[in-house]
């Protein structure tokens, strides 16, 4: 494969095979990964035959081991072509442009001997590609290069053998093949650079691990580890598989996996992820995922899928490229006929335009002019820039996102991300911590009171309970109070005995029903009700001595995330199943109006809410915690799951945030917009380039050699523009 159009043709051929679910084609690696439907595995021979039918040869590569991360075969082939072609082309340039030997008969013979190896060995790859396409009734970039270089070489050979006086174009035929090969080599090298993040992921997991059996440590290949095995991690070791800490404490650097810059403290029962680095202490861990089940393997698979998938805008470029080649061939034949049969008028137009642009010398004879202009048009119109415009930007954008802890599932997700108008957040667990914390406190016990301190009594009552509200109160730091007869009243609170008095911690309704006087608490209750907080009251006997308001607190930086999204032109909404007062209060903290917050929406109704917005023309992104937001994540134009690396395997969302930092949401959307902008720029320049240069070549203002240089330069510009995304931070 030589360009994006080739990759599209290969993908279409594989998807057309019965039983194939998906086919991901990797242009640079010259590889296709095929997934089939359950129970419908196609025969290997069928897949190979399908590729042969569209003009490509294939061999099976088992996926039992990770692919090689060295230089691609394509890059090596193009490099060899450059090493053959460059010395020959430079020698002929020096002979003709410096020593003026272009019209010398003896030089023509030397030029033929120099150009012939280039035409055979360097041109072989182009000829094979063109022939494969011709056999199946297709055409591609190889077709144009082969026709153009052959026209120049064939005319020159005929002129030399027949003794025709004038210039020959052996330099141009060699230069065409050499410069196009040079362009491909640069493309391959740039693609390697664009895929550096993925290759870094591929090399994260170590090859061996220390397995502990009966207190003996043995170094074994990672492939031999099984779930339940115990592994030993020393300071500086990379974690070989996903595991759970059994012994020891340490800090683990998870930056490459999650984008989190600071090491994460790990103690017993903490999760460890393959590819992360143990920075300090010694740990023993139990293996709980190996091979393709690890978080790192899921990330690698998802990044590969995203890089090799095709966005809608890419399919448009592919369709245009498919009809572009035949059109260019017709234009080239028309230009050749014009110069061959109306040489004087063509020369006159060239001379006129030369006064406004630049002066060019036409060939001496109509026949020579016909072959030269045919070659120039065919070469300058090669559509590889169009084929590269989208995949180059997608690869760079996906890698830039992965480096920042943002996993984009496929090209369609990236394309959709760049067109979002409204971002809707789930509240609990997404914008908030997902657990109640004390937000306000009222102490009526009095400093001179002989009774226990409010915080000490409340913490003592809450400590034995596992209720989320009790857990929040139990974190109070105060001297505990000895209690007797503790019991929990389900749905109401807890009570016990202290110095022969009843002490309680619970809901105001329960305490009031139990005969506790709440007059001093009522203003606090009214104030906190407006904020949507839950209030727990503490009482001794029939007297309330204090109260605590508990709320689900906002995550750090949540308001900054909303502000950044709004400043970026996105409409932001809050959607929750919580009570209206709590949702309205959270919205106010975020800087959102009450109209932008919708409360009391059950999980199964969230999808319908999104569908209503979409019917009104909104392109909606839904940000959820991935636990009960599956329907909404699927309904949204773009589903974003706020999660840790272990949730990469979830298929509900289009984008998964590998770290809990919510700022990754606007980062992902902004990066997607930038990627789409680069794609549009690339497509514009690719189409503009062809629209501008094909007419110039047809009227003789571009020689075949200059056409080849211009075509190669357009590819480099497209790739270079895409690589700007790789530097985004």
Segment 165-189, tens digit of pLDDT: 777 778 878 877 887 787 677 666 6
Tell me the C-alpha distance between 650 and 655, whole Å: 10
> 206-293, what's its fold?
2.70.150
Q: Distance (Å, rounded) from C-alpha 58 to C-alpha 10?
A: 10
- With beta carbons less than 8 A apart as the criterion, state whether 153 and 377 touch: no
Out of 142, 242, 253, 426, the active site residue is 426
Give me the residue spans of the domains in the chain: 4-71, 84-196+307-391+676-727, 206-293, 404-432+555-673, 435-553
Q: What pLDDT is stored for residue 8 in this prediction?
A: 74
Residues 513-534 have a mean pLDDT of 88
DSSP per-residue letters across 418-461: TT--EEEEEIIIIIEEEEEEEEEEEE-S-TT-SS--HHHHHHHH
Distance separating alpha carbons of residues 303 and 409, to the nearest angstrom:
7
How large is the average pLDDT for residues 611-630? 81
Please tell me the distance from the alpha carbon of residue 304 to that of residue 320, in angstroms, as a whole number: 26
Q: How far apart are CA 49 and CA 106, in angstroms?
A: 50
Query: pLDDT tens-digit profile of 448-470?
Result: 567 788 999 999 999 998 888 89
Distance of alpha carbon 191 from alpha carbon 82, whole angstroms? 18
Q: How far, in Å, CA of 334 to CA of 698, rounded?
A: 9
Q: Which residue has the tokens 């393709």?
A: 292
547 forms beta bridges with 442, 537
Above 50 in pLDDT, residue 646? no
Q: How confident is the model at residue 69 (pLDDT cuts 50, 70, 90)?
A: very low
CA pair distance 569, 567, nearest whole angstrom: 5
The yes-or-no verdict on residue 564 having pLDDT over 80 is yes
Between 469 and 31, name the one with better pLDDT: 469
- Report pLDDT for 640: 84
- Look at residue 306 and tell me whether its pLDDT is greater than 50: no
Q: Contact at 8 Å (CB) between 586 and 429? A: no
Please identify, in words, the CATH class of the domain defined by 435-553: alpha beta
State how far the Cα of 299 lies from the Cα of 646, in Å rounded to an integer: 10
Bridge partners, residue 92, by sequence: none
707: closest CA among 375, 387, 363, 384?
Answer: 375
Query: Do residues 589 and 559 make contact, with C-beta atoms less than 8 angstroms apart?
Result: yes
CB atoms within 10 A of CB 680: 15
Q: What is the structure's pLDDT at 256?
A: 59
Q: Average the pLDDT over 423-447 and give the result.
A: 83
pLDDT single digits (tens) 398-433: 777 877 778 777 667 777 777 889 999 988 777 887
Least confident of 243-252, 372-381, 519-528, 560-569: 372-381
Q: Whole-structure pTM over 0.75, yes or no?
A: no
CATH value of 4-71 in 3.30.70.100, 3.40.50.1980, 3.40.50.10470, 3.40.50.150: 3.30.70.100
Q: Check if CATH label 3.40.50.1000 holds for domain 404-432+555-673.
A: yes
Is 426 in the active site?
A: yes
Alpha-carbon separation of residue 163 from 104, 327, 338, 370, 624 (angstroms): 12, 35, 25, 19, 78
Q: What is the pLDDT of residue 506?
A: 93
Is residue 239 within 8 A of residue 278, CB to CB? The reply is yes
């Amino acid at each position: 494969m030589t360009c994006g159009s080739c990759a599209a043709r290969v993908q279409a051929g594989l998807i057309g095979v019965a039983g194939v679910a998906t086919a991901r084609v990797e242009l640079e690696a010259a590889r296709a990964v095929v997934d089939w439907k359950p129970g419908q595995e196609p025969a290997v021979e069928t897949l190979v035959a399908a590729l042969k039918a569209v003009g490509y040869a294939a061999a099976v590569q088992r996926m039992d081991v990770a692919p090689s991360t060295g230089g691609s075969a394509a890059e090596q082939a193009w490099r060899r072509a450059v090493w053959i072609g460059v010395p020959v082309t430079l020698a002929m340039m020096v002979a003709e442009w410096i020593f003026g030997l272009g019209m010398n008969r003896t030089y023509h013979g030397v030029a033929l001997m120099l150009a012939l190896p280039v035409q055979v060995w360097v041109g072989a790859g182009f000829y094979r590609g063109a022939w494969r396409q011709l056999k199946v009734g297709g055409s591609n970039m190889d077709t144009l290069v082969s026709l153009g270089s052959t026209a120049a070489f064939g005319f020159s050979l005929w002129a030399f053998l027949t003794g025709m006086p004038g210039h020959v174009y052996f330099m141009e035929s060699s230069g065409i093949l050499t410069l196009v090969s040079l362009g491909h080599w640069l493309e391959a090298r740039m693609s390697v650079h664009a895929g550096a993040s993925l290759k870094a992921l591929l090399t994260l997991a170590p090859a061996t691990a220390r397995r502990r059996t009966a207190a003996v440590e043995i170094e074994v290949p990672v492939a031999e580890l099984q779930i339940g095995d115990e592994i030993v991690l020393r300071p500086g070791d990379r974690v070989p598989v996903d595991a759970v800490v059994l012994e020891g404490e340490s800090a683990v650097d998870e930056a490459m996996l999650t984008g989190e810059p600071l090491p994460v403290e790990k103690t017993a029962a903490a999760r460890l992820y393959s590819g992360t680095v143990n920075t300090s202490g010694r740990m023993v861990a139990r293996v709980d995922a190996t091979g393709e089940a690890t978080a790192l393997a899921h990330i690698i698979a998802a990044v590969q899928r995203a890089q090799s998938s095709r966005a809608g805008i890419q399919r448009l470029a592919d369709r245009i490229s498919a009809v572009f080649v035949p059109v260019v061939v017709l234009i080239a034949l028309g230009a050749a006929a014009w110069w061959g049969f109306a040489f004087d008028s063509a020369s006159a137009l060239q001379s006129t335009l030369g006064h406004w642009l630049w002066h060019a010398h036409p060939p001496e004879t109509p026949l020579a002019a016909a072959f030269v202009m045919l070659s120039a048009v065919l070469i300058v119109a090669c559509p590889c820039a169009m084929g590269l415009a989208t995949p180059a930007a997608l690869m760079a954008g996906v890698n830039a996102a992965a480096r920042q802890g943002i996993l984009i599932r496929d090209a369609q997700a990236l394309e959709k991300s760049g067109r979002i108008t409204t971002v809707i957040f789930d509240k609990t667990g997404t914008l908030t911590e997902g657990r109640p914390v004390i937000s306000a406190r009222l102490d009526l016990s009095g400093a001179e009171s002989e009774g226990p301190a409010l915080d000490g009594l409340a913490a003592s009552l809450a400590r034995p309970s596992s209720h989320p509200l009790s857990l929040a109160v139990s974190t109070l730091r105060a001297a505990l109070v000895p209690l007797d007869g503790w019991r929990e009243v389900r749905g109401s609170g807890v009570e016990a005995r202290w110095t022969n008095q009843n002490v309680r911690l619970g809901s105001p309704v329960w305490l009031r029903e139990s005969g506790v006087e709440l007059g001093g608490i009522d203003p606090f209750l009214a104030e906190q009700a407006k904020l949507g907080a839950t209030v727990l009251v503490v009482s001794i006997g029939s007297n309330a001595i204090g109260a605590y308001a508990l709320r689900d607190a906002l995550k750090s930086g949540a308001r900054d995330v909303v502000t950044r999204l709004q400043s970026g032109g996105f409409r932001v909404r809050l959607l929750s199943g919580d009570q209206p007062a709590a949702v309205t209060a959270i919205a106010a903290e975020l800087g959102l109006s009450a109209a932008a917050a919708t409360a009391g929406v059950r999980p199964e109704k969230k999808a319908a809410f999104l569908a209503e917005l979409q019917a009104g023309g909104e392109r909606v992104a839904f940000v959820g915690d991935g636990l009960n937001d599956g329907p909404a994540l699927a309904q949204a134009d773009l589903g974003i799951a706020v999660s840790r690396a272990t949730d990469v395997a979830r298929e509900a969302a289009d984008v998964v945030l590998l770290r809990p930092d919510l700022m990754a949401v606007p980062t992902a959307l902004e990066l997607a917009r930038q990627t789409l902008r680069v794609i549009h720029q690339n497509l514009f320049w690719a189409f503009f380039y062809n629209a501008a240069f094909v007419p110039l070549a047809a009227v003789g203002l571009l020689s075949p050699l200059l056409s080849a240089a211009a075509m190669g330069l357009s590819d480099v510009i497209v790739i270079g523009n895409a690589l700007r995304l790789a530097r985004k931070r």
